[in-house]
């Protein structure tokens, strides 16, 4: 029962995140929603292991926890350099926009 | 080294070895739980893909050269096919693992056969995945600024 | 290990082990020569094994080989009767000729650094086609279908060095091929859900007498999926471009084998898995397969007439020829099936020879547009002769294999009381006279263009495999005991009769 | 031992309820907040409080220590990677020039007054 | 209580399926490749969760490994070689596409009428070979995970074929994109600091 | 050498806890081989430095995490209130924080801690300072952030053995 409640909460959260992923408006909002969606999936899979009575199959959750950020990083790289090959330690294509107007 | 991506770099360095170990765990526990060679191979490859994303493709190619990957692809597949051929030479049919240890009463041959072929799958899949990533990432992007 | 006992699996395991090794072969210094020789030797070994299998099946009877020593339906079974053995021999035979043929031609068509990779892909493609043919397990068909398809996509795309349109062609091929494979596997899923087994023979036992919507839909999906792969008439759109822009050796190999294997799978599913007496089969034959086959025969032949590109013309002609094969199947008689199998085999020989000739022209003249063939009879006599003989065989002139298969088809049509179908076959053959005649006319009568550089005959390494295929065209046109008799027996077995 | 089980159940209930509430709250924030940078903070609630509380609740219900260990790994890896993802996204947006709305009137730099 | 639990599972499945369908729908509607790539990441997360809910742990595991790890990265890699926005397709083909989709959809729905109920132990798929595998694997193969036993031993040859498929895919990518490939592009050389890749 | 040992031990522990088969000698053997392979590859990939295996931070880091959990909890409540408020009173602010840490691992830990705490996100790292986005005026408490930085800096071993020193 308690797992059911938690699962319901996660599912509601997933749907809300999905709304943000669909709505945008910027690409970053979508990426953020996707990343948050990933975290929720990790938990959901863990909870469903309990619901199915097989909590020892948490390996999938461990796997997502380990790897879920891979795509986010690829996306970052994609924006910064528009290539996947260069080291992130090199300056990107954009000139640094950040100037001395950091503090409001 | 710039510090711009320091957070990413530090975390990747910390996560690199655990991801590899998790891949190997999945590889060797395919008999007991979910997983097996294919999944392990993919996870193993992701560790290197992450490495390449953060440290740069050249650096990863130094760690895992393209030539070595090619050989690993072939060796991985031949591990599988070779197990099959070996069982043929031992008097069974192709992939008839019982021929590995015909005397065993608890089918040790099956266990060994499965371990061997899963290992082959893992090796072939991981090297192929990294190879595909190399090929995609190693190209001059054709996306133009006006398209962006 | 007893070689005889392991014989059935040899045609698969030999190239399966050899192909990965091929990509490790050096290319820089030898320009891929080692890879070519290695692949040729492998294909010859495979051909030898296939002939041995054919001999064994013809003399002893069907072979059943249990992979992993698991008896079917638990494990995967290789079940070889005459029908597979015949297709196996065709595929491996064509391969054994295409590999030496490609030795020279491929070097002019792709980058030298890629040659060993190319041969690996070609070997894998061959393995896939052989694997589809040899197996008695429905899912195993899908796995090997994927192997052959994936490698074919890459192989077709290799034509891009000559013509960038090969990439688009390969992409279309990939999309349609993937849809086909997906349909096929959906169909298998439905059949599995209805029966719980994947072994073809066992499927038939489990399906016996039962019919429900799952089985109908599953069978329809399998048929549409394989129809896509076979370039059955309304689903042929991927094929002309794929054949036209692929490297010549690839066109020759794929055109001669891949669609035939798909047709074979259709036959196999209709007769071995579902069974011809299944309630909805007759309707499917009469209202679906036959009209489509006839439409394909005419539509594709008419389109072929208007092609300026010889390879594309040959591809459209293939669509029409697939129509003949399916027409034979749709008669639902033993004779019709015989005709299909004979034509399947013969058409492989014909198209292989024609595409090889087109490849020779490509190598020397550098184009496969019809104008490039002008005056070829004098400039490249051997190639021209090969093209003419194979072309006549395509039309169905007596003394060639084309005649044999048309004759069988006609006999089957009249025998099953469908004389009109026989007339349609003759009529569409007349269309093929037009498109083949066009090329022959250009070759013989039209003088070479004035500014054309002198071209020499294609090298012997290409002429000999081509000549062998042409010789097979004539040999099997004269000696029908091998093809027709075996096909009759195969059809008899497929229709459910004893050996 | 019944009392111990009861305590355990009550604790997990509490953890699940607060965790679930945190997840939903974070998700609501992701939908409601006005710009990308503020949404980052809302996502943070899900990633930290929501995830870790639910994991703690699951740990209390775990049938064996190995399951606990795996849950700890999940928690630990999320703890390591979620700020990295968040930072990566924020930084990507920052670098291409997406500027946050600032101040209580939520004005974006360069906005027309 | 049992009924409630069963209903609860169905509710979870329903929620997941609803999300799957909506993601798929938005993916089809979107013309922005980047959005599609990202949504496909979400799609694979959802399907992995759905597989867990169906108790198909091995499938879920595979989906997780591929979906979380490589697929998005590889799709981004492929996207780099193209443009960001899909070119508007000619609208002339739409009726054919709709016809095909309708036909396929109705064929699938037609098939479902005779399908055994979800989770039916007596359905052929569960009772025939499925049961045989479960029975025999314990006796014949010294491996507790039946899925592994089927994949690697009973149907080991299929898995050999699948490994070949992966190998072939890698080979195909090398042929198309690798050194000396037909695309004619040059591989990126890591340029010294300061220079920007164009 | 120390780092190699630490990593190997950590990985061995990870393996045992994941696997749960403590008495299967075959699996233990595979485990040993796997750990060896991972350490070798980690060494080859160049992650065995102060950033990858921050031995300098390790001994005291658990206490810090405990403190951090409490901070995260407190911040969560603040942000959650805003998310649920009928009319959220947001006043986002950008802060320029100078990190007191000396090592890269320490800096990363500090930046991650800021991001982990809801209400503040590190959006950019520049030489010498970092840019932090805060959700409200109350959360943009530079003193609190500086306090966190001092705690992270305190984790760094005084006798840092090279590697990763900025």
Segment C219-254, tens digit of pLDDT: 899 999 999 999 988 888 899 999 999 999 999 999
Residue C475 makes CB contacts below 8 A (sequence gap 6+) with none
Q: Which domain holds residue D62?
A: 2-100
Q: Is residue E196 part of a domain?
A: no
H helix or E strand, kind and range, residue C64: strand C63-66
Average pLDDT, chain E: 80
pLDDT tens-digit map of B36-57: 889 999 999 999 999 998 888 8
With respect to residue D38, please indicate whether it lies within any of the assigned structural domains.
yes
> What's the rounded mean pLDDT across residues C156-173?
89
The confidence score (pLDDT) of residue D15 equals 92
Structure confidence at residue E179 as a pLDDT band (50, 70, 90): low
Sign of the four-CA dihedral C438, C440, C443, C447: negative
Q: Is the minimum CB–CB distance between C171 and chain E shorter than 8 Å?
A: no
| Sequence-ordered list of residues with C-beta below 8 angstroms from that of F25, at least 6 positions apart, any chain | none
pLDDT (tens digit per residue) in E65-75:
888 778 888 88
| pLDDT band, very low/low/confident/very high, at F63 (cuts 50, 70, 90) | confident
pLDDT exceeds 50 at position E167: yes
Mean pLDDT across chain C: 90
Query: Are E82 and E6 contained in the same domain?
Result: yes
**Can you give the pLDDT at residue A13?**
93
| Closest residue in E to C69 (Cα–Cα) | E154
**Domain of A68?**
2-81
The answer to whether residue A94 sits within a structural domain is no
Predicted pLDDT at B82: 93
Angle between helices C138-157 and C115-134 (to 10 degrees): 150
pLDDT band at E187 (very low <50, low <70, confident <90, very high): very low
Q: Give the range among C60-74, E117-131, E182-196, F47-61 with minimum mean pLDDT.
A: E182-196
Say yes or no to pLDDT of E183 above 70.
no
Residues from chain C that touch E160, judged by Cβ atoms under 8 A, are 16
Q: Does residue E98 belong to any structural domain of this protein?
A: no
Q: Is C65 helix (H, G, I), strand (E, B) or coil?
A: strand
Q: Is residue D63 part of a domain?
A: yes
Same domain (yes/no): E74, E127: no
The residue segments making up the domain with residue E145 are 108-182
- Residues of chain D positioned with their CB less than 8 A from the CB of F90: 33-34, 38, 104, 106
As a whole-number percent, the residues of chain B with pLDDT over 90 amount to 51
Least CB–CB distance from F108: residue in B10, B20, B28: B10
**Contacting residues for F65 by C-beta, under 8 A, at least 6 apart:** none
The mean pLDDT of B52-69, rounded to a whole number, is 90
pLDDT at C368: 85
Q: E178 and E123 in one domain?
A: yes
Q: Count structural domains, chain E.
A: 2
| Residue E6 confidence (pLDDT) | 60
Would you say residue C160 has pLDDT above 80? yes
Question: How close are the terminal C-alpha atoms of chain C, in Å?
Answer: 29
- The CA distance from B95 to E153, in Å, is 7
**Minimal CA separation from A101 to chain E, in Å:** 25
Answer yes or no: do E43 and E75 share one domain.
Answer: yes
Is the pLDDT at C189 greater than 80, yes or no? yes
Report how many domains make up chain A. Answer: 1
A65 with D21: Cβ contact below 8 A: no
Contact C98, C249 (CB under 8 A): yes
Residue D88: pLDDT above 90?
A: no
- Summarised one tens digit per residue, pLDDT across range E48-64 is 999 988 888 888 888 88
pLDDT in tens, F8-32: 999 999 999 888 888 888 889 999 9
Does the beta-carbon distance from D71 to A58 stay under 8 Å?
yes
pLDDT of E20 reads: 94
Q: Where are the beta strands (DSSP E) in A7-83?
A: none
Chains that touch F (3 or more CB pairs under 8 A): A, B, D
- What DSSP string runs through B116-133? HHHHHHHHHHHHHHHHHH
F162 sits in the region (left: phi over 0; alpha: psi -120 to 50; else beta) called left
Contact B15 D83 (CB under 8 A): no
Q: Which residue of F has its CA nearest to D101?
A: F92
Tens digits of residue pLDDT in C30-82? 777 889 999 999 999 999 999 999 999 999 989 999 998 888 888 899 999 99
F93 vs A contacts (CB less than 8 Å)? 103-104
Dihedrals phi, psi of A55, to nearest 5 degrees: -65, -10
pLDDT of residue E146: 87
For A59, which residue in chain F has the nearest alpha carbon? F18
pLDDT of the residue at C285:
85
Token representation of residue F119: 């209400």
B86 touches chain C (CB under 8 A): no
Output the pLDDT for position D14. Answer: 92
Closest CA to C237 of C154, C165, C296: C296
Residue B32 carries which DSSP code?
Answer: T
Burial class (CB in 10 A: 0-12, 13-18, 19+), C164: middle
B57 close to C (CB below 8 A): no
pLDDT value at B78 more than 70: yes
Q: Which residues of B touch A73 (CB under 8 A)?
A: 8, 50, 53-54
Domain assignment present for residue D22? The answer is yes
- Give the distance from CA C151 to its chain's centroid: 15
A3 Cβ partners below 8 Å, 6+ apart? A47, A50, A51, D16, D61
* E125 Cα to chain C: minimum distance (Å): 4
Which of A3, A32, A39 minimises the CB distance to D51?
A: A39
- Are B48 and B60 in contact by the 8 Å Cβ rule? The answer is yes
E107 near E100, Cβ under 8 Å?
no
In this complex, do A84 and E38 lie within 8 Å of one another by their Cβ atoms? Answer: no
Residue that has been written with the tokens 């995490």 in this structure: F65
Of C141-155, C448-462, D79-93, F34-48, the least confident: C448-462
Contacts of A19 in chain D (CB under 8 A): 31
Degrees to nearest 5, angle at CA C454 with C449 and C460 = 125
- Residue for token pair 């509490």: D14
E90 compared with F42, residue with greater pLDDT: F42
Q: How is residue E111 written in tokens?
A: 């098939």
Please list, in sequence order, all residues whose beta carbon lies within 8 angstroms of the beta carbon of residue E158, skipping any fewer than 6 positions away. Answer: C76, C137, C139, C140, C143, E151
Q: Which residue has the tokens 């290990």?
A: C1
What is the rounded CA–CA span in Å between residue E184 and residue E198?
17
What is the tens place of the pLDDT at every residue in E117-138? 777 777 887 888 888 888 888 8
Q: How many residues does chain C have?
A: 499
Cβ contacts of E196 on chain A, cutoff 8 Å: 91-93
Q: Which chain C residue lies closest to E104 (C-alpha atoms)? A: C221
Contact E/F (≥3 CB pairs under 8 Å): no
pLDDT band at D111 (very low <50, low <70, confident <90, very high): very low
pLDDT of residue C412: 93
Q: Which of C140, C196, C213 sits opposite E110 (nearest CB)?
A: C213
Tell whether the model's pLDDT for residue C14 goes beyond 90: yes
Higher-confidence residue of C266 and A69: namely: C266
**Do E8 and E76 share a domain, yes or no?**
yes
């Amino acid at each position: 029962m308690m797992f059911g409640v938690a699962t319901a909460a996660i599912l509601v959260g997933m749907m809300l995140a999905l709304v943000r992923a669909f709505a945008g408006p910027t690409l970053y909002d979508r990426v953020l929603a996707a990343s948050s969606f990933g975290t929720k999936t990790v938990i959901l899979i863990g909870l469903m292991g309990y619901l199915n009575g097989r909590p020892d199959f948490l390996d999938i959750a461990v796997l997502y926890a380990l790897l879920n950020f891979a795509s986010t990083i690829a996306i970052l790289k994609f924006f910064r350099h528009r290539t996947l090959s260069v080291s992130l330690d090199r300056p990107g294509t954009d000139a640094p926009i950040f100037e001395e107007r950091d503090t409001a | 080294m710039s510090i711009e991506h320091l957070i990413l770099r530090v975390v990747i360095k910390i996560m690199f070895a655990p991801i590899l170990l998790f891949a190997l765990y999945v590889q060797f526990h395919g008999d007991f739980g979910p997983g097996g060679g294919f999944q392990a191979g993919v996870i193993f490859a992701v560790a290197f893909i992450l490495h390449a994303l953060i440290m740069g493709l050249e650096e990863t190619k130094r760690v895992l050269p393209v030539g070595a990957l090619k050989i690993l692809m072939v060796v991985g597949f031949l591990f599988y096919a070779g197990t099959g051929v070996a069982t043929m030479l031992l008097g069974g049919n192709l992939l008839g693992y019982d021929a590995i240890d015909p005397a065993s009463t608890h089918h040790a041959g099956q266990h060994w056969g499965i371990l061997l072929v899963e290992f082959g799958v893992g090796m072939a899949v991981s090297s192929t995945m990294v190879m595909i990533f190399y090929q995609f990432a190693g190209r001059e992007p054709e996306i133009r600024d006006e398209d962006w | 290990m007893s070689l005889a006992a392991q014989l059935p699996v040899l045609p698969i395991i030999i190239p399966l082990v050899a192909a990965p090794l091929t990509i490790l072969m050096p290319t820089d210094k030898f320009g891929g020569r080692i890879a070519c020789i290695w692949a040729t030797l492998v294909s010859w070994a495979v051909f030898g094994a296939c002939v041995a299998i054919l001999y064994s099946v013809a003399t002893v009877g069907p072979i059943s080989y249990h992979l992993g020593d698991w008896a079917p339906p638990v494990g995967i079974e290789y079940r070889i009767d005459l029908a597979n053995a015949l297709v196996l021999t065709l595929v491996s035979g064509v391969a054994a000729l295409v590999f030496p043929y490609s030795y020279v031609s491929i070097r002019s068509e792709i980058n030298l650094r890629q040659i060993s990779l190319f041969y690996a892909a070609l070997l894998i493609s061959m393995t896939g086609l052989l694997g589809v043919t040899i197996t008695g397990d429905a899912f195993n068909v899908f796995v090997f279908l994927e192997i052959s398809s994936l490698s074919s996509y890459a192989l077709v795309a290799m034509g891009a060095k000559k013509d960038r349109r090969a990439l688009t062609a390969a992409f279309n091929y990939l999309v349609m091929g993937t849809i086909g494979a997906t349909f096929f596997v959906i169909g298998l899923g439905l059949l599995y859900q209805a029966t719980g087994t994947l072994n073809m023979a066992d499927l038939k036992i489990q399906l016996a007498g039962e019919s429900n919507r799952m089985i109908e839909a599953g069978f329809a999906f399998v048929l549409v999926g394989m129809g896509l792969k076979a370039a059955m008439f309304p689903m042929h759109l991927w094929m002309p471009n794929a054949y036209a822009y692929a490297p010549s050796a690839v066109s020759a190999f794929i055109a001669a084998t891949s669609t035939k294997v798909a047709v074979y799978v259709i036959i196999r599913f209709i007769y071995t898995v579902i069974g011809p007496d299944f309630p909805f089969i007759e309707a499917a034959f009469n209202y679906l397969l036959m009209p489509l086959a006839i439409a394909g025969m005419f539509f594709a032949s008419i389109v072929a007439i208007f092609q300026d590109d010889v390879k594309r013309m040959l591809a459209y002609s293939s669509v029409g020829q697939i129509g003949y094969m399916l027409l034979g199947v749709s008669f639902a008689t033993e004779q019709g099936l015989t005709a299909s199998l004979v034509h399947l085999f013969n058409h492989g020989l014909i198209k292989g020879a024609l595409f090889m000739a087109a490849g020779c022209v490509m190598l020397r003249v550098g184009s496969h547009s019809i104008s490039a063939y002008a005056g070829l009879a004098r400039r490249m006599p051997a190639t021209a002769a090969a093209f003419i003989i194979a072309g006549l065989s395509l039309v169905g002139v007596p003394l060639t294999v084309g005649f044999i298969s048309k004759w069988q088809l006609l006999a089957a049509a009249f025998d099953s009381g469908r004389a009109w179908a026989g007339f349609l076959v003759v009529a569409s053959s007349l269309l093929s006279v037009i498109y083949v005649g066009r090329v022959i006319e250009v070759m013989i009568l039209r003088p070479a263009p004035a500014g054309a550089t002198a071209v020499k005959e294609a090298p012997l390494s290409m002429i000999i495999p081509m000549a062998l295929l042409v010789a097979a065209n004539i040999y099997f046109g004269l000696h029908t005991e091998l093809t027709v008799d075996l096909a009759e027996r195969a059809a008899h077995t497929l229709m459910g009769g004893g050996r | 031992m019944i009392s111990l089980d009861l305590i355990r159940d009550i604790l997990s209930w509490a953890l699940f309820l607060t965790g679930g509430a945190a997840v939903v709250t974070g998700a609501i924030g992701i939908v409601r907040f006005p710009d990308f940078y503020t949404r980052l903070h809302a996502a943070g609630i899900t990633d930290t409080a929501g995830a870790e509380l639910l994991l703690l609740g699951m740990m209390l219900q775990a049938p064996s220590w190995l399951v606990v260990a795996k849950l700890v790994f999940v928690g630990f890896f999320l703890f390591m990677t979620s700020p990295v993802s968040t930072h990566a996204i924020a930084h990507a947006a920052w670098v291409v020039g997406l500027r946050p709305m600032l101040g209580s009137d939520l004005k974006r730099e360069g906005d027309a007054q | 209580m049992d009924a409630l639990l069963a209903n609860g599972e169905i509710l979870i499945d329903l929620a997941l399926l609803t999300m799957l369908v909506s993601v798929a729908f938005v993916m089809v509607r979107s013309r922005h490749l980047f959005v599609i790539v990202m949504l496909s990441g979400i799609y694979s997360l959802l399907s992995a969760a759905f597989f867990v809910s169906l108790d198909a742990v091995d499938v879920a595991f595979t989906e997780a490994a591929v979906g979380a790890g490589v697929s998005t990265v590889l799709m981004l890699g492929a996207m780099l070689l193209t443009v960001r926005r899909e070119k508007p397709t000619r609208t002339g083909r739409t009726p054919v596409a709709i016809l095909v989709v309708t036909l396929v959809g109705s064929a699938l729905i037609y098939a479902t009428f005779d399908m055994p109920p979800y989770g039916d132990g007596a359905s052929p798929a569960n009772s025939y070979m499925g049961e045989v595998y479960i029975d025999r694997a314990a006796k014949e193969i010294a491996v507790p995970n039946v899925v592994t036993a089927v994949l690697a031993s009973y149907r080991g040859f299929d898995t050999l074929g699948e490994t070949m498929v992966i190998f072939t895919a890698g080979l195909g990518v090398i042929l198309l994109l690798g050194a000396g490939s037909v695309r004619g592009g040059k591989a990126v050389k890591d340029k010294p600091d300061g220079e920007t890749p164009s | 050498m120390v780092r190699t040992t630490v990593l190997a031990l950590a990985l061995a522990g990870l393996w045992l806890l994941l696997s749960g088969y403590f008495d299967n000698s075959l699996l233990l053997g595979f485990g040993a081989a796997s750990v060896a392979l991972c350490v070798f590859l980690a060494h080859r990939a160049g992650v065995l430095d102060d950033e990858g295996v921050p031995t300098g931070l390790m001994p005291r880091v658990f206490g810090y995490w405990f403190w951090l959990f409490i901070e995260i909890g407190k911040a969560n409540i603040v942000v959650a209130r805003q998310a649920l408020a009928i009319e959220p009173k947001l006043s986002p602010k950008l802060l320029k924080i100078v990190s007191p840490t000396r090592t890269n691992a320490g800096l990363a830990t500090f930046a991650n801690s800021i991001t982990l705490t809801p209400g503040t996100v590190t959006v950019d790292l520049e030489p010498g300072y970092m840019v932090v986005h805060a959700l409200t005026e109350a959360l943009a408490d530079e003193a609190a952030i500086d306090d966190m930085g001092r705690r992270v800096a305190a984790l760094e071993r005084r006798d840092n053995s090279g590697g990763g020193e900025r």
